[in-house]
Structures are given as C-alpha cells and as structure tokens.
Amino acid sequence: MRVLVTGAAGFIGSHILQAARDLGHEVRGYDSLTPAVHDGRPGYLPDDVELVVADVRDADAVRQALTGVDVVCHQAALVGLGVDLADLPAYADVNVTGTAVLLQEMGRAGVGRLVLASSMVVYGEGAYDCATHGRVRPAARARADLAAGRFEPRCPRCGQSLETATISEDAPLDPRNAYAASKLAQEHLAATWARLTDGQAVALRYHNVYGPRMPRDTPYSGVAAIFRSALENGVAPRVFEDGRQQRDFVHVTDVAAANLLAVGATGAGEAGLAGGLRAFNVASGHPHTVGEMAAELAKAFGGGLVPEVTGEFRLGDVRHIVASPAAAEHDLRFQAQTSFADGVREFARAELRAPARVPVSVG
C-alpha cells in the first residue's frame, strides 16, 4: 500500500512513517519544514524516504504528492492551545484550510482513505458522575476557584463533588480553545469529504502522547517534555495545581501502531468505515496523574530532584480526562503495548527534538 504521511518530519508523523516502512508499505512524506520547527530535514528521517517539502495549503504540491497514493495519514497541524484571540486566524488557516485543501485534492485524485490526527481536546473536560444527577458536564472552572485552590469541578446542578469517569467517543464535544476548535473542524470536514466521495475516514483522538522526538523547551511540548527538560537542566519540575490532574499518557510508538491499524482496517464490517467517519480514542487505558509523571521522570533521573507542586494554574486547562480505549480495541484491534513505567524510563533518556527558533509548530 502507498501511504502519504503529512507532517512526516514531526514528532508523531515521523514515527508513523517509520512504522509504515517497517510493515512494508511504500511511504512518501510531506512536511513544510517550517523554520518555526525544523532547521532542515531531520536526521531521524531515513535518507531513502521521499519527502515533499511544501505547505499543506499548497493545492498544486498536494496534488502532485497524492500521485499513486492509496491512503493519507494527516498529521500536519499548528499545535498548542491557541488561547488568545490573535491565535484564531492562524489555527483556522493552517489546520482547517489546510485540511480542506488536502481533502479537495484527495477527492480529485480518487484517494479514498484518510487517517486523521485528532485530539482529546475536542472533549473539553472529561466525563464526571454526580451521586444525585448521574453523568454531568461541568462548566469551565472559574478563575476565583482556581486561585483559591479549588481545583475539582463540581456538579453544575447541585454543587456536589464529582467522580471521574472514562470518556468515550460518543461524549458531547466541547472544544475550549482555538486548537481544539480546529481539530473538531478537521473531523467535520473529513466526515463531509467521506460522504461526498464515499471515502473512509478515521479520526484518532490522541490523548497525552509522549516519547522520543518530542520537541523540547517550548510551551507546546507537552507536560512530559517540559518536566524532562527541567530535570536535564538540574531544575525540579514545577507541577501546576495540586498535581492530581488525571491524564492518559500514551507512548508515541503505540500511537503510530494505531495509525497503521487504521490504515489497514477493513470497510464497513468491523470498523464501520464505509462512506463516513469513525472517531477513536487512542490511549493506554491506564490513567496517571500529572504529579505521577513528574515523580517517575525524576526517579528515572536518579531521584535527586523532587518535583515542586506549585498551585499555579492555567485558565482553560481541564482537570481530568480519562479515556475509554474500548472502541479502538474492539474495532481497530488496537491495544497499547508500552507500560507507563517502561515508557517513562525510556523517555527519560530518549532523543528530543531541538527547540524551534520560533515557538509555533506546523507539521
């Protein structure tokens, strides 16, 4: 099978490209190699892999790159949160327009399968149960509560404490920043493309991905890379809130494996892919707290630096988001293979990508 990987020089895209080659697929990479991220072709891309250097919004370049392709793994994106009004045009342009151009050209070229990098951020907060009112969706946490150290969401109907529950793909979607809105827009565009072309689209909602080639020392790195960079610099990791925020940390090699399973998933049968879009959580199924990630990394560095729980917060951050991987396990036969302990131990010494000159990422 001939696979086009957009964002192929990036953290996740490069692992997908490698996994596809390992399975015997013919692979073509596509990446803008923007100076905001890369100082040229990264050394971890094999020399014999074709890499089209172009922007995903360039219809002519996309059209040529799609020649002979059977399936596209679309990873190219502007990443981060996008919390300011000034961020809105860039996220809409790169992520939404870029995906629209790609889908248009896929339709014209007759390429009928898409695997889309989506994200857990489309859910907003995770799932919660109230003892009185059952499943509820708490509103965004108020600045005054966070400043007072009241980090846990409360029932929006009665104000009681809530129990964290796993979130599944049929949960209401509630994107709360520019990046999240753009990822959901990508899903909607992919669904429209699938209906118009009778194509097959899979949106993989990545949870907290970590592993080799993560970008270091930027606000967009992800908490695991930020903690690791601090430890490398001889500084104790700073853990926001009380460190008890729950996340599902999933290793990048497992994410790449999920993509390849989606590439090979069979039509309308087991995954229900024909003529539509299916979304799947890509997660380990074993949540951990942010504080546990900091502590495990510190331990892997010899334990000399103890993470500092600061009580600081970022307005707009979610408290807990715990994924249900059941749908991906049933329909894609995906099950994460890397344990938290093994993954963190490897990540503590893994190669990270050098910091970008400009802290914005495309692909």
Condensed to tens digits (0 to 9), the pLDDT of residues 17-68 reads 999 999 999 999 999 998 777 888 998 999 999 999 999 999 999 999 999 9
Give catalytic residues, as residue numbers.
179
- E-strand stretches of the chain: 2-6, 26-31, 50-53, 71-74, 113-119, 127-130, 134-136, 163-167, 200-206, 208-210, 238-239, 246-247, 249-251, 276-282, 288-289, 308-309, 322-323
pLDDT of 272: 54
Q: How large is the C-alpha radius of gyration of the chain?
A: 20
pLDDT score of 361 more than 50: no
Give how far Cα 146 sits from Cα of 139, 149, 292, Å: 13, 5, 21
Region for residue 124 given its phi and psi (left: phi exceeds 0; alpha: psi -120 to 50; beta: otherwise): left
- 149's CB contacts (< 8 A; 6+ apart) are 242, 311
pLDDT-derived band at 336 (thresholds 50, 70, 90) equals very high
Rounded (to 5) percent helix, strand, coil in the chain: 35, 20, 45
pLDDT score of 362 more than 50: no
pLDDT of 235: 95
pLDDT of 219: 53
pLDDT of 359: 40
- For the chain, the residue count is 363
Given a contact cutoff of 8 angstroms between Cβ atoms, the answer to whether 133 and 155 are in contact is: yes
**Tens digits of residue pLDDT in 185-216:** 999 999 999 999 999 999 999 999 999 999 87
Cα first-last separation, the chain: 23
